[in-house]
Structure 1
Amino acid sequence: MAGRKLRFGAFIAPFHPLRENPTLALERDIELVQHMDRLGYDEAWIGEHHSAGYELIASPELFIATVAERTKHIRLGTGVSSLPYHHPLMLADRINQLDHITRGRVMLGCGPGALPSDAFMMGIPVSAQRDRMDEALDVIVALLRGEEVSKKTDWFELNEARLQMNPYSRPSVEICAASQVSPTGAKACGRHGIGMLSIGATQSGGFNALASNWAIAEESAADNGKTVDRNNWRLVGPVHIAATREEARAQVRFGLEDWLYYFREVAALPLAPSDGSDPVDALVNSGMAVIGTPDDAIAQIERLEKQSGGFGAFLMMDHNWAEWDNKKKSYELFARYVAPKFQGLNENRETSLKWAAENRPRFIGEAMAAVGMRVAQHIQEKGTDNIRPEILAAMGMDKKPE
């Protein structure tokens, strides 16, 4: 009987260094999702950023509308929409429209906003972002379920607001809230009974908080008369794989330093050593990233399953560490050799192969007996005098029977 099927996808911020043509970089992001769709990936989540020059997609909704026309199966999520940056009715209306034009392939990922520089440009106090996310999420969830909402806060107002169309997906578009180390996202997930998106699942703080954040989500859900489902929990971590570890390590040298520079100097996350040691060693040895083979990726996912207690999807953080062809090959290797391990794709094949091998003597015997019967029947019908010598030889009869 078929069992649980873990889903796979990518979390595409994206990260593009300043030395590249930004138009071509965006086109490659679109091509990547097309590539994933052909390979059978389940999901792609698209980020929203407005400053700092690396994470180039300002509107995940525009990106999703574009790539939806160029793909067939893959589901497309906002990864994530920064709720304090949008009037909640406007955002809900755009997502609802995408739900219809994609025939239910869109998902809404929510967060407070990752870059303080974005909030600064819009005059939004960083200290207010998480409160505003909670306020917006309260009404967006209701609106996307077709409900009427009236609410006034210090930054938005809704008067008998409702979306013009009921959702295409029932009862609603799938909604997830971002979670890292703090309990903010986990509490929001539980309060509304929505999915959780653990963006920093392989960083030490995020990894250590996996089990506790899920427990917080369950507790919050119980307090609010909701339930949460591990199948709607997504974990994110960087992966680059090749045929050998040596090849993978050599390939990521192409763009790793650009990525590390961005996090050291702009995003201010301690992802690389400052003592001059090899950053590849640091990322691999800490468990932050997989830079190796399909077997290394399998081991990372098993490690995450053990730590978390189980989840529904693993998303590779897209990073552009390797050149384009090597990056696409990494995604292909993952789809060919990693995903089947967790999706039970070959269980029946293995059972069928074992059954055929174990019964080979019986099957071969029956096949040879069937051939012998046909040979005897043919000879009886034609007589050996009317059969050419080479045919007799093929039948194992080098001379005519006396």
Structure 2
Amino acid sequence: MRVGVFLIAAGFPGRSPGEVLRDTVEAVVAAEEAGFDDAWIAEHHFMSYGVCPSAVTLAGVALGRTRRIRVGTAVSVLSTRHPVDLAEQAAILDAASGGRFTLGVGRGGPWVDLEVFGTGLDRFERGFAESLGLLCAALGGDTVAADGEFFRFREVPMVPAVRLRPVVACTSAGTVALAAGRGLPMLLGMHVGDEEKAAMIRAYGERAYGRRAGGAAAFPSGRNDHAGHIAAAVGHVADSTAQAVRELKASMPRWLEPGLAGYVPVDGRPRPQRDISGYVDFLCATHPVGSADHCVASIERTVAATGLRHLILMVEGAGEHARTLENISRLGTEVLPRLREEGR
């Protein structure tokens, strides 16, 4: 069982972006000390939901402050980046860290980012497959060239050359199929429950291995974590489940209400609306939020329902840096050892 932390660099009210970014790096250091396997940093632009606009940059800072823990991006938004440029940055972090970096990428959304960075709505709507293919070529060979709709250039050497397999954030059937077609592991979001995660993993198995869904039968290894998929979840431990839920219900709406409003469509389409209170209720009921016993049981249910063996826990939900560090420490001492006992 692999367990990591997932750091959104959440912009809770009253905290400056610079303070949040420094605290995010401190949280990675704390996660290493607490025994977590990895730490994943999110990327957002022009909003308070997450105040880190370059996950690879902050990952580099965190790698420089640590010695053992792996650090990844969850995710770098590929629709606003040149794939070769992103591959070069990933190669630097892989080489300089001794192989401790993992690149996670996603399609992103139809947000104003596309206008600001000049990549445009067409690249978002039609270009993700081409972008991902070029990224994989740049991460897997000594040279790279392109002759597609969105990228055309002569062959050039990759310096430094690297052999990395990116993780792909999957929120739709199309991205699941794309990841499966390339044999790339999926990153599944915390906004869906175990049943939907299991369905996406089955769909991946059908596409990747040409088998009908039906539990482990979809996977040649007999285990539906074959591709190394990862799932995000809220992780918050307290003396009692009631206390943990009470803390998150008091803090998370203050962040989510203004934060999610930062998603501004580039073309004037209606912005998706979310019932914030209902969403927090869902997160608390679905994910490991509670006493240590409750957290362990919740994670075990997810493993049993999905076959996943790698979870990353969003630990910032209380909105206070000291409480985040306490949460990381308590998860490390009260939850992780029990998950890693024989048979779990």
TM-score, normalised by the number of residues in structure 1 = 0.73
Aligned partner of 1:208: which letter? E
SS of alignment partner, residue 116 of structure 1: coil
Query: Does the Cα contact within 8 Å between 1:191 and 1:221 map onto a contact in 2?
Result: yes
Alignment of 1:15 with 2:10, yes or no, is yes
Instruction: Give ranges in structure 1 of 5+ residues lacking alignment.
Output: 1-5, 348-402
Shift of 1:11: 1.8
Choose from 300, 303, 306 the match for 1:305: 303
Larger RCO of the pair (alpha carbons < 8 Å, separation 6+): 2
Residue deviations 1:341-372 (CA, integer Å, cap 9, x gap)? 2212799xxxxxxxxxxxxxxxxxxxxxxxxx
What is the deviation of 1:119? 2.2
- The correspondence for 2:192, drawn from 183, 186, 203, is 203
* 1:259 Cα deviation after fit: 2.4
Q: When the two structures are aligned, how many residues end up with a matched partner?
A: 325
Aligned counterpart in structure 2 of residue 117 of structure 1, from 108, 112, 128: 112
Alignment check: 8 A CA contact 2:48 2:262 kept: no
Distance 1:233 1:142, change over 3 A: same
Mapped pair 1:323 → 2:320: yes
Cα distance per residue 1:76-104 (max 9 Å; x no partner): 11111111211111111111111100100
2:110 aligned with 1:101: no
> 1:337 maps to what in 2?
334
2:291 corresponds in structure 1 to: 293
* 1:15-164 pair list within 5 angstroms: 15-114=10-109, 116-126=111-121, 128-129=123-124, 131-164=126-159
Instruction: Report the alpha carbon displacement of residue 130 of structure 1 after superposing the two structures with TM.
Output: 5.0
Cα distance in 1 for residues equivalent to 2:46 and 2:340: 38
Q: CA separation of 1:199/1:258 partners in 2, compared to 1, >3 Å: closer, same or farther?
A: same
1: distance between equivalents of 2:103 and 2:136?
10
Name which of 213, 229, 233 aligns with 1:233.
229
Shift of the 158–57 alpha-carbon distance from structure 1 to 2, 3 Å rule, reads: same
Secondary structure of the structure 2 residue equivalent to 1:230 = coil
- Once the two structures are TM-superposed, the CA of residue 212 in structure 1 deviates from its matched residue by 2.4
Instruction: For residue 339 of structure 1, report the CA deviation from its aligned partner.
Output: 1.5
Flag the 1:215–1:245 CA change in 2: closer, same or farther, 3 A: closer
CA distance in 2, matches of 1:311, 1:64: 25
Out of 250, 272, 276, which is 1:272 matched to? 276
| Distance change >3 Å, CA 116–CA 237, structure 1 → 2 | same
Indicate if the aligned counterparts of 1:240 and 1:248 stay in contact, CA closer than 8 A. yes
Instruction: Tell me the distance in 1 between the aligned counterparts of 2:275 and 2:67.
Output: 36
Note closer, same or farther for the CA distance 1:42–1:52 as it changes in structure 2 (3 Å cut): same
Residue 215 of structure 2 aligns with which residue? none
Residues 45 and 76 in structure 1, CA contact (< 8 A), matched pair in contact too: yes
Cα offsets for 1:95-130 (capped at 9, x unmatched): 111110010000010101146132243344446415
Q: Structure 1, residues 134-165: CA drift from partner, whole Å, max 9, x if none? A: 11111211221124332223332232133122
- Residues 49 and 262 of structure 2 are in contact (CA less than 8 Å); yes or no, is this contact kept in structure 1? no
Paired AA for residue 230 in structure 2: R
* Distance across 2 between alignment mates of 1:53 and 1:245: 28
Q: Does 1:222 align with 2:220?
A: no
Match of 2:206, as an amino acid?
Answer: E
Cα distance 1:88–1:298, how it changes in 2: closer, same or farther (>3 A)?
Answer: same
- The equivalent of 1:179 in structure 2 is 170
Structure 2 counterpart of 1:98, which letter?
L
Matched, 1:245 2:241: yes
1:303/1:272 CA distance change after superposition, 3 Å: farther
Structure 2 residue aligned with 1:188: 178
AA of the residue aligned to 2:328 = Y
Change (3 A) 1:250 1:110: same
Q: What is the letter of the counterpart of residue 184 of structure 1?
A: G
Task: Report the RMSD for the aligned CA atoms in angstroms.
Answer: 2.7
Please tell me the residue identity of whatever aligns with 2:310: A
Q: How much does 1:291 deviate?
A: 3.0
Partner residue of 1:380? none
Aligned to 2:213: none
Q: 2 CA distance for matches of 1:324 and 1:337? A: 20
Note closer, same or farther for the CA distance 1:297–1:127 as it changes in structure 2 (3 Å cut). Answer: farther
Aligned-partner Cα distance in 1 for 2:297–2:273: 25
Q: What residue ranges of structure 2 are gaps of 5+ in the alignment?
A: 211-218, 264-271
- Taking the aligned partners of 2:50 and 2:256, their CA distance within structure 1 comes to 14
Q: Which residue of 1 aligns with 2:256?
A: 260
Letter in 1 for 2:175: G
User: 1:260 and 1:59, CA in 2 relative to 1: closer, same or farther beyond 3 A?
Assistant: closer
> Normalising by structure 2, what TM-score?
0.85
SS at match of 1:54: coil
